[in-house]
Chain A
């Protein structure tokens, strides 16, 4: 049913795209335009989330064209939740970026290059934002494919922005992986269209039958999405790309972009028959990711590399719970999405905070960070709080997610899953405290250097970390939104 006011649905997509165009056309670095559209997009997204919560599923056909010709948008609880999550993380990152590009200007001849970076950053970021929202809200697989490509290309552009050789290499690898993934996805979509005769996602999923072409299609789609989500063992491209990018970009990539492809994977895999048959596959890979990512994170010398490998590990949690979805009455889905949102906020905050350390100290070697707390108490605190949520300690969204995971798993008799989650959070604690111990170390700095980091950077990192804490006590609200089906 299409109600007249559900045209709200298009604004989280249209607003950032408009902003991207205007920023692209702007002559000088479009900081104000970018920030304005970031606020606008967040506002529209929050309104959408609130509307879905209050009135149920919203859908909209653009230009009143019906599928299969027109573009149809649909926001159920899960989609609205993801859009809302993107709004919160996106707004914090945008505010941070404003301060970030300002703080990096040093008044010498390298400033031209930095201004050029900012000039490309805003349009790319807003394009990415719009495409992500499109991904969440699209109802048919071809549009999803388009959004997927837009997300991939703008992410690669953002990754390459820093211009340093390691990030260029990483961006190139990212591009190739992304293209391969998209290709696989597109091929799978072709198979689906051939067998099901429709591009509508809901129709495809309800028509899933274990015939060879459908299995082939699903395998191709899944492989493509897993490659793009960097689930172990496809994670090789992620750490260098996320760690070497500019700091706001790292937060965007780790906090938001991987959630897009993960969300699609969830959309394809929520069918019970499928989960009962092969649900263990993503779960096993997820378990591998948790162990391997944590081990790698613990062995890193650089803070941003540690945080990036932590993303590899945390992606594992996003997949390990797929078997839990087999019981639709349980809280498996809630645990799942709660984890995704908490991770987005916490990881975003950690990358933003790590960015302030990197900018101020000129390096991010973990062992040499002692004393940073004295200089930047706010972002040190933000990093520690983000780590708290990652470890699943109260009061944080991570704690709620972990609690939901473990109680649901035990309730369904999946002991191995409960054990993986509990042991995994022990591993997480090991690497988080390796970093936090250095940052919170009470050792004093010999001299106090000039603070180069804008206050808005530190505070936006803290705000995002506090949002992860807030998730620890308002769980009924997001879970209610999630329950709108």
Chain B
């Protein structure tokens, strides 16, 4: 075995951890070094991840082991599913970093912000690369700790209160997950993601335990994944700065939860066992309820970021829905939504941040005519919102299409009704925003753009990332059938691991 393949994974982690730690020690005024380190780390990570993806495609194996206890190891391993999540996180991290540098210009505590920001991405990558359940738990808990300082970054009483709520939810979820992992360990020892069917021999003797453990594990990851009724922290965490919200919703926290559900159902239990235990249907119902309920709540919000937050609650559950339908087509739909939702949602949050920073508009009722003042931003917003609704040929359409195909294949036609209802609700809460922004007269004239910033909207580093991701969300839908799309990769995952 060649050594570089083992070190590659460590290097991928270090490429954001080391800059993060250095940034902590930099002086607040040392802007150029901080920016250079941020961009350098993000770029190096992108390159390393590309090397890894090509390697996986060619059938190379990447794994690192560290013996943590006599009978259990810390394992980093890159399988195709982790590559999907790693690629998403590192691309969006690069964009969010660019955005955050401009967004936080002249605000205090930037060294701390970017330090934790980098650590947060390191930990997310760790979650993606975790090769067994303990390693997953290890990074999952660290994610709570690295995101907490970002949530309270503003330091206002509301931010501190939101931080408390965030911790209450996520630490409780962590305890549940811990309990489930320890319980499973006591039953069978180390749970490796790459070895399927480990739990099947327990079926005869420990049926009840297996069901209970499943419930505990799903509840544990479901807190971060914002499954109803565990979603209460998410709208409150919206007090964080826009790049943090973007990161929390599109890349790190919520996605880690959804990724955890995938790992538990597909790799720890495996679909046959989950079906045998009768656990797919409850999960399916939970996901369907979350999809509808989140959309309904989103409809009731006037605050833009809160509406987006509830929309996340709804959209992320498509992933769980696809997994729990349980046939290859639906799994593809759910899995690819991990990427699609990330790209679209990060666009929306970037745009919301731009509007709030430039025009001081936080509520949808105040957005009349924003499109004229910030055409690029609102253009990106419109594209991403269309994608969320599921308009062909955008990214969201592809996800919903495969989910629907899978549902019909499984004989669950009633799910089509859920998908249609959800689409209607998405349209109901996104279209009015778009209508207001483009077709209504502003209440008063907009303040003029300040300074030579390059774009009319605001600083180019604030505009370029959302425009890029908006185009990307169009492209991944349009070119879904090409060999380089996320869908193609997901097809590869399902064909190699979870096929019939």
**How far is the CB of B465 from the nearest CB of chain A, in Å?**
25
**How far is the CB of A192 from the nearest CB of chain B, in Å?**
36
**How far is the CB of B133 from the nearest CB of chain A, in Å?**
12
Q: Is residue B477 within 8 Å, beta carbon to beta carbon, of the partner chain?
A: no
Q: Is residue A441 within 8 Å, beta carbon to beta carbon, of the partner chain?
A: yes
B145 touches A388 (CB 8 A): yes
B152 touches A442 (CB 8 A): yes
Give A412's nearest chain B residue, CB to CB. Answer: B186
B153 touches A400 (CB 8 A): no
Q: Is residue A440 within 8 Å, beta carbon to beta carbon, of the partner chain?
A: yes
Give A438's nearest chain B residue, CB to CB. Answer: B160
Q: Is residue A437 within 8 Å, beta carbon to beta carbon, of the partner chain?
A: yes
Q: Mark B145-176, 1 if CB is under 8 A from A, else 0.
A: 10001001111000010011001000110110
A479 touches B141 (CB 8 A): no
**How far is the CB of A349 from the nearest CB of chain B, in Å?**
16
CA distance A399 to B138 in the complex (A): 9
Question: Number of contact residues on A: which range applies?
Answer: 20 to 34
Q: Is residue B436 within 8 Å, beta carbon to beta carbon, of the partner chain?
A: no
Enumerate chain A residues within 8 angstroms of B179, measured Cβ to Cβ.
406, 418, 422
Enumerate chain A residues within 8 angstroms of B109, measured Cβ to Cβ.
442, 444
Q: Is residue A403 within 8 Å, beta carbon to beta carbon, of the partner chain?
A: yes
**How far is the CB of B135 from the nearest CB of chain A, in Å?**
10
B178 touches A406 (CB 8 A): yes
Enumerate chain B residues within 8 angstroms of A70, measured Cβ to Cβ.
none
Q: Is residue B500 within 8 Å, beta carbon to beta carbon, of the partner chain?
A: no
User: Taking A410-B186, A429-B171, A437-B164 as contacts, is the C-beta distance between A476 and B145 under 8 angstroms?
Assistant: no
Enumerate chain B residues within 8 angstroms of A441, measured Cβ to Cβ.
152, 155, 160
CA distance A473 to B145 in the complex (A): 18
CA distance A400 to B134 in the complex (A): 11
A443 touches B138 (CB 8 A): no
Enumerate chain B residues within 8 angstroms of A476, measured Cβ to Cβ.
67-70
B182 touches A442 (CB 8 A): no
CA distance A475 to B109 in the complex (A): 36
Give B138's nearest chain A residue, CB to CB. Answer: A394
Enumerate chain B residues within 8 angstroms of A408, measured Cβ to Cβ.
186
Q: Mark B101-132, 1 if CB is under 8 A from A, else 0.
A: 00000001100100000000000000000000
B160 touches A400 (CB 8 A): no
Enumerate chain B residues within 8 angstroms of A473, measured Cβ to Cβ.
66, 68, 74
Quick one: which of A453-468 are within 8 Å of B by CB? none
Q: In the complex, which of the residues B69, B134, B137, B149 has the most CB atoms of chain A within 10 Å of its own CB atom?
A: B69
Enumerate chain B residues within 8 angstroms of A377, measured Cβ to Cβ.
24
Enumerate chain B residues within 8 angstroms of A99, measured Cβ to Cβ.
none
Number of interface residues of B (CB under 8 A): 37
A475 touches B69 (CB 8 A): yes
Enumerate chain A residues within 8 angstroms of B24, measured Cβ to Cβ.
377
Interface of B is mostly: helix
**How far is the CB of A389 from the nearest CB of chain B, in Å?**
12
B174 touches A393 (CB 8 A): yes
Give B112's nearest chain A residue, CB to CB. Answer: A442
**How far is the CB of A33 from the nearest CB of chain B, in Å?**
34
CA distance A192 to B385 in the complex (A): 80
**How far is the CB of A393 from the nearest CB of chain B, in Å?**
5
B167 touches A393 (CB 8 A): no
A394 touches B152 (CB 8 A): no
CA distance A399 to B179 in the complex (A): 12
Q: Is residue A425 within 8 Å, beta carbon to beta carbon, of the partner chain?
A: yes
B152 touches A444 (CB 8 A): no
Q: Is residue B61 within 8 Å, beta carbon to beta carbon, of the partner chain?
A: no
CA distance A395 to B24 in the complex (A): 19
CA distance A429 to B149 in the complex (A): 15
B142 touches A406 (CB 8 A): no
Give A406's nearest chain B residue, CB to CB. Answer: B182
Q: Is residue A426 within 8 Å, beta carbon to beta carbon, of the partner chain?
A: yes
Q: Is residue B185 within 8 Å, beta carbon to beta carbon, of the partner chain?
A: yes
CA distance A422 to B175 in the complex (A): 7
B160 touches A437 (CB 8 A): yes
User: Taking A418-B182, A442-B152 as contacts, is the C-beta distance between A437 and B70 under 8 angstroms?
Assistant: no
CA distance A406 to B70 in the complex (A): 15
B155 touches A410 (CB 8 A): no
Q: Is residue A407 within 8 Å, beta carbon to beta carbon, of the partner chain?
A: yes
Q: Which of B137, B138, B153 contacts A442 (CB 8 A)?
A: B153
Q: Is residue B492 within 8 Å, beta carbon to beta carbon, of the partner chain?
A: no
B182 touches A410 (CB 8 A): yes
B182 touches A433 (CB 8 A): no
Enumerate chain B residues within 8 angstroms of A399, measured Cβ to Cβ.
138, 141
Enumerate chain B residues within 8 angstroms of A308, measured Cβ to Cβ.
none
A394 touches B69 (CB 8 A): no
Give A402's nearest chain B residue, CB to CB. Answer: B178
CA distance A475 to B71 in the complex (A): 11
Q: Mark A120-144, 1 if CB is under 8 A from B, else 0.
A: 0000000000000000000000000
**How far is the CB of B117 from the nearest CB of chain A, in Å?**
14
Quick one: which of A364-402 are within 8 Å of B by CB? 377, 388, 391, 393-395, 399-400, 402
**How far is the CB of A68 from the nearest CB of chain B, in Å?**
39
Give A403's nearest chain B residue, CB to CB. Answer: B182
Q: In the complex, which of the residues A377, A425, A429, A479 has the most CB atoms of chain B within 10 Å of its own CB atom?
A: A429
Enumerate chain A residues within 8 angstroms of B401, measured Cβ to Cβ.
none
**How far is the CB of B30 from the nearest CB of chain A, in Å?**
15
Q: Is residue A233 within 8 Å, beta carbon to beta carbon, of the partner chain?
A: no
User: Taking A410-B186, A437-B163, A437-B164 as contacts, is the C-beta distance between A394 and B154 under 8 angstroms?
Assistant: no
Enumerate chain A residues within 8 angstroms of B155, measured Cβ to Cβ.
441-444
Q: Is residue B183 within 8 Å, beta carbon to beta carbon, of the partner chain?
A: yes
Q: Is residue A328 within 8 Å, beta carbon to beta carbon, of the partner chain?
A: no
**How far is the CB of A484 from the nearest CB of chain B, in Å?**
14
Q: Is residue A404 within 8 Å, beta carbon to beta carbon, of the partner chain?
A: yes
CA distance A479 to B70 in the complex (A): 8
**How far is the CB of B157 from the nearest CB of chain A, in Å?**
10
Q: Is residue A411 within 8 Å, beta carbon to beta carbon, of the partner chain?
A: yes
Q: Mark A331-344, 1 if CB is under 8 A from B, else 0.
A: 10000000000000
B182 touches A426 (CB 8 A): no
Q: Which of B69, B74, B134 contacts A479 (CB 8 A)?
A: B69
Give A472's nearest chain B residue, CB to CB. Answer: B68
B160 touches A426 (CB 8 A): no
**How far is the CB of B134 from the nearest CB of chain A, in Å?**
8
CA distance A3 to B186 in the complex (A): 41
Q: In the complex, which of the residues B134, B153, B183 has the most CB atoms of chain A within 10 Å of its own CB atom?
A: B183
Enumerate chain B residues within 8 angstroms of A425, measured Cβ to Cβ.
175
B153 touches A426 (CB 8 A): no
User: Taking A429-B167, A476-B70 as contacts, is the C-beta distance between A437 and B152 under 8 angstroms?
Assistant: yes
Given contacts A418-B182, A429-B171, 20 further A-B contacts (CB under 8 A): A393-B141, A393-B144, A394-B138, A395-B142, A399-B138, A399-B141, A403-B178, A404-B69, A407-B185, A422-B179, A425-B175, A440-B152, A441-B152, A442-B153, A444-B109, A473-B68, A475-B68, A476-B67, A476-B69, A479-B70
Q: Which positions in B face A, CB cutoff 8 Å? A: 24, 66-70, 74, 108-109, 112, 134, 137-139, 141-142, 144-145, 149, 152-155, 160, 163-164, 167, 171-172, 174-175, 178-179, 182-183, 185-186
21 residue pairs of the A-B complex, CB under 8 angstroms, read: A377-B24, A393-B141, A395-B142, A399-B141, A400-B68, A403-B134, A406-B178, A410-B186, A422-B175, A423-B175, A425-B175, A426-B172, A429-B167, A441-B155, A441-B160, A442-B149, A442-B155, A444-B108, A473-B68, A475-B68, A476-B68
Pairs of residues from A and B, 5 with the lowest C-beta to C-beta distance, nearest first: A442-B155, A410-B186, A406-B182, A411-B186, A394-B138
